[in-house]
Amino acid sequence: GENVEQHPSTLSVQEGDSAVIKCTYSDSASNYFPWYKQELGKGPQLIIDIRSNVGEKKDQRIAVTLNKTAKHFSLHITETQPEDSAVYFCAAVEASGGSYIPTFGRGTSLIVHP
Amino acid sequence: GAGVSQSPSNKVTEKGKDVELRCDPISGHTALYWYRQRLGQGLEFLIYFQGNSAPDKSGLPSDRFSAERTGESVSTLTIQRTQQEDSAVYLCASSVAGGMSTEAFFGQGTRLTVV
């Protein structure tokens, strides 16, 4: 089955700095990679995703990159703000005739200091 | 409501008792997932329902855990003879599985505490 590793487990930055969270996956059949943000006491919410036919996607201050050969994908947050503080989860999914079950990383607790 | 709804939001139970957790997915979503999240940990897959197909139960940790889904609507996760290690937040998610758009929408979770 799929295995997703996520690093770092905790990331502390100053407001305005950039934050990068990295994930690796094991199953080359995975072709959909969502990122979720979980605020305290809430369920995870999708913030950005990328499919295997592209290498990069950007949405305002958030970007995701994918290296299929190396089975790496990363989340980049620029100009961080205190409200970005949350736990971020990466996931890998086989979304083309497979089971569509997201396998999640262990999460990164991002703390943005004002 | 437009989102995934879970009930109860909190449940405290005594060790050895059975509990039932409920999930109301988004209308029209054929796929439904249950995950477990222990304190400070990631999301551990439990079970997956997709339409009328047999559920994928590969993540259930023991035979004390079971889940049912009525058609493409409500799902119930049952834990029998609860143990302290069952204490966690149980998250339900639903999605329109199929093609490449498989965003999973999560509920707020049920926080289960076994005392």
Per-residue pLDDT tens for A86-98? Answer: 999 999 988 766 5
Q: What is the 3-state secondary structure (H, E, C) of chain B?
A: CCCCEEECCEEEECCCCCEEEEEECCCCCCEEEEEEECCCCCCEEEEEEECCCCCECCCCCCCCEEEEECCCCCEEEEECCCCHHHCEEEEEEEECCCCCCCCCEECCCEEEEEC
Do the bridges between strand B110-114 and strand B10-13 make them parallel or antiparallel, or are there none, so unpaired? parallel
Q: Which two tokens stand for residue A74?
A: 């990363």
CA A97 to chain B, closest CA, distance in angstroms equals: 8
pLDDT digits (tens, 9 = 90+) for B17-71: 999 999 999 998 888 999 999 988 889 999 999 888 889 999 999 999 999 998 8
Beta carbons of B103 and A34 less than 8 Å apart? yes
| Displacement of CA B52 from its chain's centroid (Å) | 18
Evaluate if residue B5 carries a pLDDT over 90. Answer: yes
> CB distance B43–A95 less than 8 Å?
no
Q: Which residue has the higher pLDDT, A92 or B98?
A: A92
Cβ–Cβ gap A104/B107 under 8 Å: no
Closest approach of B94 to chain A, Cα-based (Å): 11
Per-residue confidence (pLDDT) for residue A18, from 0 to 100:
98
